[in-house]
């Protein structure tokens, strides 16, 4: 029997399992329902030999030296800065909207005075949310805020979430920035890169410890029984009094007793093309055209050299947990009532003091990879290590 069990072999689960195995030197059982490790960061070589990301493009970036150092024990890095272009008014311009975008989309007679106003009011190298621009009493800055909102944000968001921005939590709209800078990189974090041999190799290293027993192709419900009413857990039919780290959906853990937490799902269309490259940068966003939101060309990210190239188009779609093809929950939907529903499950979780709910599904929130790694390390250090 095990004293430590982890459900899910994504970053949240794999990092905690690695710490339990290495730092505590305890045996840990990792249960994963998919036929592979890595969670949504899983990558593999497609039939053409190109390294692709099965669940959408993942770029690693962090400000945290601690997270970077931790992960660097398991990988070398291909140093990479992500660049995104947006297809707007027939041009491919830098995203997020910055001073270069401004000059490419607007006539110089507009762009120059706008740039001067932005810099003198807010300074240089700062990200100003468009909500803040709208609040100024300067009509030119308001015009700019509306321009960015309509050309870059409105239709992309509507496609992404299947609803108008005003139906979402106001913080989503509030965060859209104008970046007062000529820096065309998508992220400005101090540490950015792609794992040299891919993400899956990181997971192989995280989990290849003699203390870790991995069960793939296993839904936790096949081996774990949760008695929600009495707050008891059994593993392989015997009472389990150890620590359970749960990184699956929190509503599933409680048999959906308060209802389903809504998610947005995605459909990915991969295509291999017999050319070395088809895009100038890693990702091109299509806010105002087509049904997909963006196209990513993997070789830009990974640095792989190959005579052909693979791209992926992302089609947002509704999530339905029992419908094949729509049953992968990607993004928690940032709306007040959903967060309230999550809060009820979170309250319910207090009944299980030895179960730690960690990660994007268990905490019903979007985490970047670095944030989920930081969270996993914190849970381990503060709650499991003791």
Residues that bind ligand FAD (CB under 6 A): 7-13, 31-34, 39-41, 56-60, 219-220, 247-248, 266, 330-331, 359-361, 367-370, 372
Least CB distance to ligand FAD at residue 108 (A): 35
Least CB distance to ligand FAD at residue 296 (A): 9
Partnered with residue 265 across adjacent β-strands are 317
Least CB distance to ligand FAD at residue 14 (A): 7
Decide whether 114 or 361 has the Cβ nearer to ligand FAD: 361
> Is 352:224 a contact under the CB 8 Å cutoff?
no
DSSP3 helix / strand / coil % (the chain, rounded to 5): 35, 25, 40
Decide whether 178 or 250 has the Cβ nearer to ligand FAD: 250
Query: What is the torsional sign of CA 49, 55, 59, 65?
Result: negative
> Is 277:258 a contact under the CB 8 Å cutoff?
no
Helices (H), 97-247: 99-105, 108-122, 130-135, 139-148, 155-161, 170-174, 199-207
Distances, alpha carbon 99 to alpha carbons 122, 330, 341, 343, in Å: 13, 32, 41, 41
Least CB distance to ligand FAD at residue 309 (A): 19
Least CB distance to ligand FAD at residue 85 (A): 16
Least CB distance to ligand FAD at residue 53 (A): 8
Q: Give the list of residues 6+ apart from residue 163 with CB closer than 8 angstroms, or none.
A: none
Decide whether 102 or 266 has the Cβ nearer to ligand FAD: 266
Decide whether 128 or 304 has the Cβ nearer to ligand FAD: 304
Q: Which of 219, 252, 223, 257 is nearest to 240 (CA)?
A: 223
**C-alpha gyration radius of the chain:** 22
Decide whether 88 or 214 has the Cβ nearer to ligand FAD: 214
What φ, ψ does residue 95 adopt, rounded to 5°? -125, 140
Decide whether 151 or 360 has the Cβ nearer to ligand FAD: 360
Buried b (16+ CB within 10 A) or exposed e, 160-180: bbeeebeebeeebbeebbbbb
Least CB distance to ligand FAD at residue 369 (A): 3
Decide whether 8 or 165 has the Cβ nearer to ligand FAD: 8
């Amino acid at each position: 029997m095990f004293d430590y069990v982890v459900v899910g072999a994504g970053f949240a689960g794999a990092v905690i399992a690695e710490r339990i195995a290495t730092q505590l030197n305890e045996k840990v059982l990792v249960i994963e329902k998919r036929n592979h490790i890595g969670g949504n960061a899983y990558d593999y070589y497609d039939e053409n030999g190109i390294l692709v990301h099965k669940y959408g493009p993942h770029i690693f970036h962090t400000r945290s030296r601690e997270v970077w150092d931790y992960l660097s024990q398991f990988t070398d890095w291909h140093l990479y800065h992500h660049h995104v272009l947006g297809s707007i008014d027939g041009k491919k311009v830098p995203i997020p909207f910055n001073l270069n975008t401004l000059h490419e989309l607007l006539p110089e007679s507009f762009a120059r005075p706008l740039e001067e106003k932005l810099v003198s009011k807010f300074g240089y190298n700062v990200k100003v949310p468009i909500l803040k621009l709208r609040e100024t009493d300067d009509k030119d800055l308001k015009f700019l805020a509306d321009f960015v909102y309509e050309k870059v944000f409105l239709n992309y968001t509507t496609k992404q979430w299947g609803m108008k921005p005003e139906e979402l939590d106001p913080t989503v709209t509030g965060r859209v920035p104008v970046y007062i800078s000529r820096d065309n990189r998508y992220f400005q974090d101090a540490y950015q890169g792609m794992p040299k041999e891919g993400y899956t190799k990181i997971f192989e290293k995280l989990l290849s410890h003699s203390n870790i027993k991995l069960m793939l192709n296993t839904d936790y419900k096949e081996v774990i029984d949760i008695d929600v009413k009495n707050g008891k857990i059994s593993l392989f039919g015997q009472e389990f009094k150890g620590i359970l780290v749960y990184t699956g959906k929190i509503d599933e853990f409680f048999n959906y007793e308060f209802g389903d937490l809504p998610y947005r799902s995605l459909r990915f269309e991969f295509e291999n093309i017999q050319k070395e490259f088809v895009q100038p940068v890693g990702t091109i966003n299509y806010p105002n055209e087509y049904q997909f939101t963006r196209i990513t060309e993997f070789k830009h990210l990974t640095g792989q050299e190959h005579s052909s190239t693979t791209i992926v188009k992302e089609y947002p779609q509704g999530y339905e947990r029992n419908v094949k093809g729509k049953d992968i929950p990607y993004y928690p939907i940032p709306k007040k009532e959903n967060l309230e529903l999550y809060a009820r499950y979170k309250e319910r979780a207090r009944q299980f003091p030895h179960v730690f709910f960690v990660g994007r599904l268990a905490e019903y929130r979007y985490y970047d990879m670095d944030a989920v790694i930081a969270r996993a390390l914190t849970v381990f250090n503060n709650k499991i290590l003791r």
